[in-house]
A and B are shown apart, each in its own frame.
Chain A
C-alpha cells in the first residue's frame, strides 16, 4: 500500500484515477472481510460517486492533499445517509441524519468514504471483540485480536485496504489497536478535533483522531480533521495548524538534536513483556543516534490512572447512554408491559454485556452516598495525574514508552476477565485523563511476528512535535512499511481458510 503522499502525487499526475483507487480499496475490503471482519458497512455505490466527484476536482486543478484518497470511518462517527451502528444491536439499523464534524471536514477535502469500520460496542473495549457484528481479527495473526476499540480502523490500514482511517480514543482506543496491528495512530490534544457527531461514550475524554501508515500521513489527516467548531462546547478556538509543515523541512544527520525524551521509570516496570521493552529501548537508541537526549522522569500518580479512568469513563457513559431508551431512535423491545418495562427490555436487548457492566458501574459511582467517594475522588486523582505530566514536561519535550504492555493476545483470552482487559490501557489512559496529545508508531515485532508499538506523548497542543519525532524515526527505519501477508480470498471457506491462515 502506498502512502497518502504517494497516492496524491499519482492522482495529480493522472497515473491513477480516484475511481480506480476506490475500486481497488473496495475489492480489498470485500476480499478481506470474511477473514478480518474489519467493516460493519461497505458503501460501494456511494464511494464510486464520491470518487467521480474527486476526479472532477482533480481535473479542475483545485484538489487538496487528500482529494481522491479512499478512507473509512470508525462506526461511532455519524455519516449522513449511511448506517452508523456503534457496533451495537441498539443502533443496528440507525441511519445518521447528519455528518460528524470530522467526517464533514474530510468530505470537504473530497476524500472517498468506502465504509464504516468495526469496533468494540460503543467504543468500550480494548480488543474489538465486543462488537455485535463479531470480533475483528488481526491481519498479522487471525487468531489474535487487533486491539480496540478502533480495531477495524487499525486493521483496514494494516491490511492495506485504505491508506488512512478515522478512530476515536477515550482511553487508548486509537493508540492501543495501532500498536497491536502495526500501524500509526494519533490522538490529538482534547479539543483539537470536534466531538460533534461522535456518538458520546465519555465526553470529557472522547477524542477523534486518525490511523495511517506513516506519521506524515497522520499529519495530513489531522490537519484536515482539526479546527474550531461552535457546536462542540469544548472545541478549542485557535488558528488552523498545518501539522505536516515541519516534516517536509530538509533534515541534517541529527534532525532530533536538542530534543529531550523523557523516560518514565513507571513505564518500563514489571508486567511489561520483555520483547516489548527491548523493541522500545532499541527505538529510543535510534532516536539518540538522531541527536535526541534522554532524561529519566517520574510519574508517581500514573499508577492510579486505570482505576480513576474506570470511575470517570463509566460515570459519563451511564449518563450519555441513557439516551438509548427505545423512544426516539434505535432498537425498541417488541414486548413490554409499560413504559418502564419498555426501557428495561429495550436496553437489555440492545446493549451487550460489557456496555451493561459499564453503565452499572457508572450508575453506582454516581449514586447517592457514593458520588463523593468515587466520582469526585477520581476527578481529584485525575488532576494529580495531570500535574505529574505538567511537571515532567518542564524537563523534557516528549515522553516515550511502550504503547501496551503486551503484543496482540488471542481472541477470547481476556473476555471473561474485565480487569485484565482494562489493564491493556495502562500506558495510554493518562493521555486521555490529562488531555495531552499522544501517538503510537510501529517499532518492531515479537519472535512470533506480532507488531510492537512505541508510545510518544507530548505536552498540550504539541502534536506537531510528536509527529516530527515519529517522522524522523521513520526516515531511518522501516517498521511502519511492513505489511502482513494478504488474507485468503473469500472463495475459500471454513477449514481451508483456517489452514491458509496458518491456524
Chain B
C-alpha cells in the first residue's frame, strides 16, 4: 500500500498532529513500509472467529455505587499549562 502526501496530511489532521512537508514525505514512505508488513493480515481466513479484545475474556467488574475518589482538582491543576479560578484555560472557541 502506498500513501500520498494528501493521505498523510489528512491523517495528520485527524490525529491533530502538525506535519511540515518534509516530515509528511518521510511519514508517507515509512507508513508505506509499515502497511507492507500489516497488509499480510488480509489474506488470513478468519471466518467465524470472534475478535479478541483483551487477553483475559472476563466481564466488566462491578462495585457499589459509592464515592471512592477524593477531590484532587487543586493538586492536578498544578500540572496544567494554564489555569485560572480553578478552571483550565484554552483558546477561545465561541465568538
A residues lining the B interface (CB < 8 Å): 94-95, 97, 189-191, 204-205, 230, 233-234, 236-237, 304, 306-308, 310-311, 318, 322, 325-332, 336, 338-345, 347-348, 351, 353, 356-357, 359-361, 363-365, 367, 373-374, 376-384, 386, 417-419, 422, 432-436
Q: Report if B90 contacts A (CB, 8 A).
A: yes
**CA of A332 to CA of B81 in the docked complex: distance in angstroms?**
6
In the complex formed, the residue of A with least CB distance to B56 is: A191
Q: Report if B49 contacts A (CB, 8 A).
A: yes
Interface of B is mostly: loop
**CA of A384 to CA of B36 in the docked complex: distance in angstroms?**
21
Q: Is the CB of A230 within 8 A of B61?
A: yes
B residues near A363, Cβ cutoff 8 Å: 11, 14-15
Minimum CB–CB distance for A338 against chain B, Å:
5
Q: Is the CB of B93 within 8 A of A190?
A: no
**CA of A345 to CA of B30 in the docked complex: distance in angstroms?**
22
B residues near A205, Cβ cutoff 8 Å: 55
Question: Could you list some 22 contacts between A and B, CB below 8 A?
Answer: A190-B56, A191-B56, A234-B58, A311-B38, A326-B81, A330-B81, A332-B81, A332-B82, A338-B91, A339-B92, A341-B18, A348-B17, A356-B17, A357-B31, A357-B34, A360-B27, A374-B41, A377-B46, A378-B41, A381-B41, A381-B46, A383-B52
Known: A97-B72, A339-B90. A345 touches B79 (CB 8 A): no
**Which residue of B16, B35, B82 is within 8 Å of A344 (Cβ)?**
B16
B residues lining the A interface (CB < 8 Å): 8, 11-19, 23, 26-27, 30-31, 33-42, 44, 46, 49-56, 58, 60-61, 63, 72, 75-76, 78-82, 88, 90-93
A residues near B35, Cβ cutoff 8 Å: 361
Minimum CB–CB distance for A232 against chain B, Å:
10
Q: Is the CB of A327 within 8 A of B90?
A: yes
In the complex formed, the residue of A with least CB distance to B91 is: A339
Q: A310-B37, A310-B38, A361-B31 are in contact. List 14 more A-B contacts (CB 8 A).
A: A191-B55, A237-B61, A328-B88, A330-B79, A330-B81, A338-B92, A360-B11, A360-B12, A365-B38, A377-B46, A383-B49, A418-B34, A419-B34, A434-B55
Q: Is the CB of B33 within 8 A of A359?
A: no
Q: Is the CB of A361 within 8 A of B55?
A: no
Q: Is the CB of A360 within 8 A of B56?
A: no
Q: Is the CB of B38 within 8 A of A379?
A: no
B residues near A353, Cβ cutoff 8 Å: 23, 26
**CA of A114 to CA of B19 in the docked complex: distance in angstroms?**
38
Q: Is the CB of B50 within 8 A of A328?
A: no
In the complex formed, the residue of B with least CB distance to A203 is: B54
Q: Is the CB of B55 within 8 A of A190?
A: yes
Q: Is the CB of A233 within 8 A of B60?
A: yes
**CA of A99 to CA of B91 in the docked complex: distance in angstroms?**
32
Interface of A is mostly: helix
A residues near B50, Cβ cutoff 8 Å: 380, 383
B residues near A311, Cβ cutoff 8 Å: 38, 41
**CA of A307 to CA of B1 in the docked complex: distance in angstroms?**
14
**Which residue of B16, B31, B34 is within 8 Å of A340 (Cβ)?**
B16
Q: Is the CB of B41 within 8 A of A307?
A: yes
**CA of A307 to CA of B16 in the docked complex: distance in angstroms?**
25
Q: Is the CB of A342 within 8 A of B55?
A: no
**CA of A422 to CA of B79 in the docked complex: distance in angstroms?**
34
**CA of A249 to CA of B82 in the docked complex: distance in angstroms?**
58
**Which residue of A318, A329, A382 is within 8 Å of B80 (Cβ)?**
A329
Q: Is the CB of B51 within 8 A of A376?
A: yes
**CA of A236 to CA of B76 in the docked complex: distance in angstroms?**
29
In the complex formed, the residue of B with least CB distance to A358 is: B34
